[in-house]
């Protein structure tokens, strides 16, 4: 009796082919998963580095802005210092001019006094003495007014100087804060 029932091993060649093809596809699938995992890791690394670079660029822009601000503050400090020096030189020049005027007027007054004294010796003492007192009073009044004007000018310069010095101290403090911030940013950028 021949049986027409198929043997369980009838498709072994086809089964072997399907199994080998399945194993081959499974191996390729594992390799592709490994490649995808590597690419994901690489992409995450690149994204992390890109984020770090963007952070560095942002902080470097902040540093640049701080450097520009520091430069402006230093320029303002130099300008204010030069203005203070110019005011002091102007005051010194005015004092020197005033002293020269006083010295020349004193020498003229001394010469006039000596001349009037000589005239007094000649017998004109009653008329010359009131003139001498009037000239002396006028010179003293002029000298007092000149000194008071000079003192007012000096006080005005001192007030301006104090205002500028307060401004300079504030700007110096701001400059120190910016420098400390720059140091922090530099350290942070180096760590990134």
**How far, in Å, are 53, 64, 179, 181, 192 from residue 57 at the CA level?**
6, 10, 19, 16, 11
Residue 5 placed within a domain: no
Residue 136 placed within a domain: yes
Quote the number of domains for the chain. Answer: 1
**Residue-wise pLDDT tens for the chain (192 aa)?**
445 555 555 567 888 888 899 999 999 999 999 999 999 999 999 999 898 888 888 888 887 887 888 888 889 888 888 888 888 888 888 878 887 877 777 777 777 777 777 777 766 666 666 777 787 777 778 778 877 887 888 888 888 888 888 888 888 888 888 777 777 666 666 665
Residue 48 placed within a domain: yes
Residue 64 placed within a domain: yes
SS3 track for 137-159: HHHHHHHHHHHHHHHHHHHHHHH
Domain CATH number, residue 120:
1.10.287
Domain that holds residue 159: 14-191
Residue 4 placed within a domain: no
Residue 9 placed within a domain: no
Residues 150-153: contacts with CB within 8 Å, 24+ apart? 150/94, 150/95, 150/98, 153/91, 153/94
Residue 110 placed within a domain: yes
Residue 8 placed within a domain: no
């Amino acid at each position: 009796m021949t049986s027409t029932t198929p043997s369980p091993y009838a498709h072994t060649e086809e089964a072997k082919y399907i199994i080998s093809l399945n194993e081959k596809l499974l191996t390729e699938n594992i390799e592709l998963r490994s490649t995808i995992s590597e690419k994901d890791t690489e992409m995450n690394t690149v994204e992390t580095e890109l984020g770090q670079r963007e952070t560095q660029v942002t902080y470097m822009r902040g540093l640049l802005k701080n450097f520009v601000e520091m430069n402006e503050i230093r320029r303002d400090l130099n300008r204010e210092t030069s203005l203070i020096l110019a005011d002091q030189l102007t005051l010194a020049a005015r004092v020197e001019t005033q002293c020269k005027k006083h010295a020349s007027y004193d020498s003229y007054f001394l010469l006039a006094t000596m001349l009037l004294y000589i005239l007094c010796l000649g017998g004109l003492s009653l008329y010359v003495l009131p003139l001498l007192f009037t000239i002396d009073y006028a010179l003293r009044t002029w000298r007092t007014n000149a000194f008071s004007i000079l003192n007012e000018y000096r006080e005005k310069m001192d007030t301006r100087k104090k205002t500028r010095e307060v401004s300079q101290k504030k700007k110096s403090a701001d400059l120190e804060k910016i420098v400390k911030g720059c140091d922090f940013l530099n350290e942070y950028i180096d760590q990134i």
